[in-house]
Amino acid sequence: MTPATALRAAGSAARRLLGMAVTLLVTSFLVFSSLYLAPGDPASFLVKGRSPSPQELLAIRQQYGFDDPFPVRYWHWLEGVLHGDLGRSYLFHQSVGEVLGARLPATLLLVGVATVLIAVLGVGAGIVGALRRGTRTGSAVLLLVTVGAAVPSFVAAIVLRSVFGVRLGWFPTIGNGTDLPDRLHHVALPAIALSVTFMALVTRVTRSSMLDELRREHVEVALSRGLPRRTVIRRHVLRNALGPIVTVGGLLVSGMLVSTAIVETAFGMSGIGSLLVQCVDQLDFQVVQAIVLLVVAAFVVVNTLVDLLHPLIDPRVRAAGGAR
Amino acid sequence: MRPRSLLAAATVATVLAAAGCSGTAKQADGTGAAYRLTDTTPAAGGDLDSFTWSLFGEPTTIDYAYSFDFPPNQILANVCESLLRWNPDLTTSPNLAASFANPTPTSWVYQIRPGVKFHDGSTLTADDVVASLRRNLDPEVGSVWGNQYRNVESIERTGPLEVTVTLQAPDATFNKYLAAGPGVVESAATLAKSGKEYGSPGTGVNCTGPFSFASWTSGQSLVLKRFDEYWNPQLKARSAQAKFVFLADPTTRVNAFRTGEVDGGWMVPAGAYAQLKDTPGGALYFGQNTTVATEVVNNLKGPLGDARVRQALLMAVDRKGIVKAGAGGVGEVANSLVTANNWNGAPGAAELIKALPEYPYDPAKAKALAAEAGVNGQKVVIATSPLDSQTTIITQAVAQAATAIGLKPEIDTIAADKYTALFTDPAAREGIDLFLTFWYTSITDPLDMYSSLRTGAFSNYGGWSDPKFDAAVDRAVGAYDPAAHAAATGEAQQIAMAQLPWLPLYTEPVSVFLGKRITGVKPSIAYLYYPWAAEIGAKG
């Protein structure tokens, strides 16, 4: 890399980071405003179960700032978020940070294990499917992909739970676990249930991306010249095919954060997915805002990372960037 | 089963007992399935290190001032005690108040039990009682029990171990409420110190019950541990620890029962009765309840404004069918908005119950009655929520009945959070003619239910009004004499059941599942206020 291209690369990275910050800011505004435009008065939730006196209602509205003008409320909230203060959950009588802190590790572990499954099994099956195309193994991969893509996570959860949890008793059916081995034991079935569909998707992308590369002229030339097949596949096919796989993978990982609700509920786990459902149900705005913001941030950060990674994986992208 | 909680919240209300006394096998009509109500499960043979109990939801706090829902109350019942105690047989007895007197119609004097220790080791005094009860009057606190304190003028310490409550007018139910949430006593010092954090996961509570708060892992579990200095040897905890886990999904809960990962739980999903009845993993028990499944008539300006149409609708509802299909055959058709055991042997109760009008299933007669009232294809909106199969089945049956009498039912499916709002927010109820509730009382007195139908009462959602009914309720509230109280309450009940401001559907018993490791619990709705977990121990 020449100093000039390095500079350009740094400049483009800086632009991406700035873009990320702007995206987050705009998102925060949209998240905040959409929730306050939603029907339902949080004050009436707070007094459910009794008829409040007008003074009481007023006190509650003041306490939570429901009567402040919208920009003031947004500014207060944003200021708090920037200071790491996400507000106070009125459902849990705790700070939102504490509420999320208690649940985030379980979800991160769940998504983490699912990601590993997707990366290893999904990409692996895609490579096998491409290399063994037309054979019995290749068809088996295609069949699995078709079935896997058609199985919603709640169906997978129900089947896994009743077979491996209730009937065979190999895995626990509820809870998060205590130490790491126990947590992994608890998270195994939910992670499989969560990743089935995504795995099928990644397998499909990997397979077609590999096939595209295999058909390329330079690959055919390399093979016809007698270069070892293994080396050609690793250096030329896999490396070039990685771009689309990483892009799709990045989207899926951040997407999984919001798909955990069903799986968490089915396995009695407590993570942010089930928390989100609960808080939407009960109009706990502060928590919902924090979770939505968190998920959006994960999306933006992961995709920015993917963008930044691309030139490192694929020299052609770097070259194209240089020519611009 | 969240709808129940809604209801409970709105006004703690009423009853059922149709099933009668313990040990009676009931033959559910047409299903051939029998169920039995039991007072108690086999006594524990030994102590336990720990047991795990399932809750259908996580409490948001265990501060008694905000606890009106099944999850917080069934925990709190073991940690915090009230001045009086609501027993599993639905009687009331002294508890933290060793005795009480009613020297004038508007004053109640409580003698506080000496030598009772809080979980932090401090000793209970009259100041703790005053501070705890007064919170229910404080608008800043916003206690859910404000309505039960509406007649309270003042709460004063009148001795080191004596507290006097002065009422604005005689109120025959006030004292009874002190056996439930409104009578909980906590440490005044801890209340002052913890402020808004009181009852939260990080802080917990400081009370006098057989278990103390140990830890609460938000989203996962809440752990109690045995309190060794507990004052009452009869209710000393048999288990060193009780762990509550939060499992919202009914299937998840039932699976956890079957695998033994959870040792037990209240409120078993009706759909799983058959599955859990004969499992080697444990046993299913039914006990006394005060709950009635009720269709609230929310709009008296539409076709349901005519009492004949309400009567016709009730006659056209196949209530036996609902019990069979929707409640697993476990329950009885209700002729009243309260259960029979809610009367608990009040003078003349048997006659009052016998005199109630009945509305046997008779679609033809119902149709004729509705036609006489001029029903002709008018629309009625029935609100429901996709909560469980039970709710769906009941709603379908009511819609069918409406069609049968010539109305045009329209089912309005509302999300769970909005459904809760029906009980508190008039705007949310607009345009709705009927909605379902499982209404229970947390005291043994039918008046708890009927006073909520008084003109202008918060939970008189349809705005029903009958001067004779109001007069009877007022007389009952002011009547301390049990016979006069029961007679006036019975009069109100008779009017309500002839007029049907709400339509009673069926009563159901309390259900509880116990895994094979544990026993000793007393199945009864009193579990919301009685330290039931203390009696759970190891199987013999």
Kindly report the CATH number assigned to the domain that includes residue B145: 3.90.76.10
Establish if B219 touches chain A: CB-CB under 8 angstroms: yes
The alpha carbon dihedral of A40, A41, A44, A48 has a sign of: positive
The answer to whether residues B269 and B335 belong to one domain is: no
| A96 neighbors A286 (Cβ within 8 angstroms) | yes
**For B417, which of A52, A166, A282 is closest by C-beta distance?**
A282
> Is residue B35, in this structure, part of any structural domain at all?
yes
Name the residue with tokens 């006004």.
B11
Structural tokens at position B85: 């105690």
The answer to whether residues B374 and B442 belong to one domain is: yes
Q: Which value does ipTM take for this structure?
A: 0.71
Which residues does chain B have within 8 Å of residue A267's beta carbon, measured at their own beta carbons?
Answer: 252
Q: How many CB atoms lie within 10 A of CB A207?
A: 24
> Is residue B10, in this structure, part of any structural domain at all?
no
DSSP E strands, B270-351: 282-287, 291-297, 332-333
| B19 neighbors B345 (Cβ within 8 angstroms) | no
Q: Using alpha carbons, select from B286, B288, B295 the residue that is nearest to residue B343.
A: B288
| B344 neighbors B91 (Cβ within 8 angstroms) | yes
The answer to whether residues B240 and B335 belong to one domain is: no
Q: Using alpha carbons, select from A41, A72, A102 the residue that is nearest to residue B418.
A: A41
* Residues composing chain A: 324
Establish if A165 touches chain B: CB-CB under 8 angstroms: yes
Mean pLDDT of chain A: 80
User: What pLDDT is stored for residue B130 in this prediction?
Assistant: 97
- Range with the lowest mean pLDDT among A246-250, B201-205, B334-338? A246-250
Establish if A62 touches chain B: CB-CB under 8 angstroms: no
User: What pLDDT is stored for residue B279 in this prediction?
Assistant: 80
Give dist(CA B183, CA B529) in Å, integer. 10
User: What pLDDT is stored for residue B109 in this prediction?
Assistant: 97
User: What pLDDT is stored for residue B417 in this prediction?
Assistant: 58
User: What pLDDT is stored for residue B81 in this prediction?
Assistant: 97
Which residues does chain A have within 8 Å of residue B261's beta carbon, measured at their own beta carbons?
Answer: 172-175
| B237 neighbors B211 (Cβ within 8 angstroms) | yes
- Domains of chain A: which residue ranges? 3-95, 106-321
Question: Mean pLDDT across the stretch B62-77?
Answer: 90
Structural tokens at position B236: 């000393």
Nearest C-alpha of chain B: how many angstroms from A130? 40
Structural tokens at position B44: 């524990």
What confidence category does residue B428 fall into, taking pLDDT thresholds of 50, 70 and 90?
confident
Q: How many CB atoms lie within 10 A of CB B414?
A: 17
Establish if A44 touches chain B: CB-CB under 8 angstroms: yes
- Residues of B numbered 397-426 whose beta carbons fall under 8 angstroms of chain A's beta carbons: which are they? 415-418, 420-421, 423-425
The answer to whether residues B409 and B433 belong to one domain is: yes
> Is residue B9, in this structure, part of any structural domain at all?
no
- Residues of B numbered 60-79 whose beta carbons fall under 8 angstroms of chain A's beta carbons: which are they? 60-61, 63, 68
Give dist(CA A295, CA A274) in Å, integer. 14
Question: Mean pLDDT across the stretch B271-284?
Answer: 86
> Is residue B1, in this structure, part of any structural domain at all?
no
Question: A106-321, superfamily in CATH?
Answer: MetI-like (1.10.3720.10)
Contact B458 A51 (CB under 8 A): yes
Q: Is the pLDDT of residue B27 over 70?
A: no
Q: Using alpha carbons, select from B186, B185, B203, B207 the residue that is nearest to residue B194.
A: B203
Residue in chain A lying closest to B140 (CA): A56
The answer to whether residues B93 and B35 belong to one domain is: no
To which H or E segment does residue B214 belong? strand B211-217
CB pairs < 8 Å spanning A and B: 131
Mean pLDDT of chain B: 89
Scanning B135-244, the segments in alpha helix (DSSP H) are 174-177, 188-194
Last-in-domain residue among B163, B192, B221: B192
CA B395 to chain centre: 22
Residue B389 domain boundaries: 291-507
To which H or E segment does residue B519 belong? strand B518-519
User: What pLDDT is stored for residue B13 in this prediction?
Assistant: 31
Structural tokens at position B87: 């027993």
Establish if A57 touches chain B: CB-CB under 8 angstroms: no
Structural tokens at position A116: 């590993």
Query: Domain tally for chain B?
Result: 3
Q: Is the pLDDT of residue B118 over 90?
A: yes
Q: B55, B261, B430: best mutation site toward chain A, by most A Cβ within 10 Å?
A: B261
Establish if A268 touches chain B: CB-CB under 8 angstroms: yes
The answer to whether residues B183 and B125 belong to one domain is: yes
Establish if B215 touches chain A: CB-CB under 8 angstroms: no
**For A50, which of B147, B258, B416 is closest by C-beta distance?**
B147
Name the residue with tokens 């003074």.
A55
**Helix (H, G, I), strand (E, B), or coil: what is residue B468?**
helix
Establish if A178 touches chain B: CB-CB under 8 angstroms: no
Residue B409: strand pairing partners: B380
Give dist(CA A227, CA A220) in Å, integer. 10
The alpha carbon dihedral of A48, A53, A57, A62 has a sign of: negative
Compute the 3-state secondary structure of chain B and give helix, strand, coil in percent, each to the nearest 5.
Answer: 35, 25, 40
Residue in chain B lying closest to A171 (CA): B259
Q: Using alpha carbons, select from A153, A166, A150, A149 the residue that is nearest to residue A193.
A: A153
Residue B504: strand pairing partners: B294
User: What pLDDT is stored for residue B15 in this prediction?
Assistant: 26
| A254 neighbors A244 (Cβ within 8 angstroms) | no
The answer to whether residues B179 and B221 belong to one domain is: no
Q: Is the pLDDT of residue B112 over 90?
A: yes
For the sheet containing B502-507, what is the strand order? B332-333, B502-507, B291-297, B434-440, B379-384, B408-413
Question: Mean pLDDT across the stretch A224-248?
Answer: 79
* DSSP assignment letter at B42: P
- Residue B406: phi, psi to the nearest 5? 95, 10
- The structure's pTM equals 0.82
The answer to whether residues B335 and B420 belong to one domain is: yes
Q: A44, A50, A57: best mutation site toward chain B, by most B Cβ within 10 Å?
A: A50
Q: Is the pLDDT of residue B270 over 70?
A: yes
* DSSP assignment letter at A121: I
> Is residue B3, in this structure, part of any structural domain at all?
no
Residues 6+ apart with CB under 8 A from B11: B147, B448, B452, B457, B458, B459
Contact A49 B423 (CB under 8 A): yes
The answer to whether residues B165 and B278 belong to one domain is: no
The answer to whether residues B224 and B310 belong to one domain is: no
- Residue B330: phi, psi to the nearest 5? -105, 100
Give dist(CA B129, CA A176) in Å, integer. 40
Which residues does chain B have within 8 Å of residue A169's beta carbon, measured at their own beta carbons?
Answer: 259
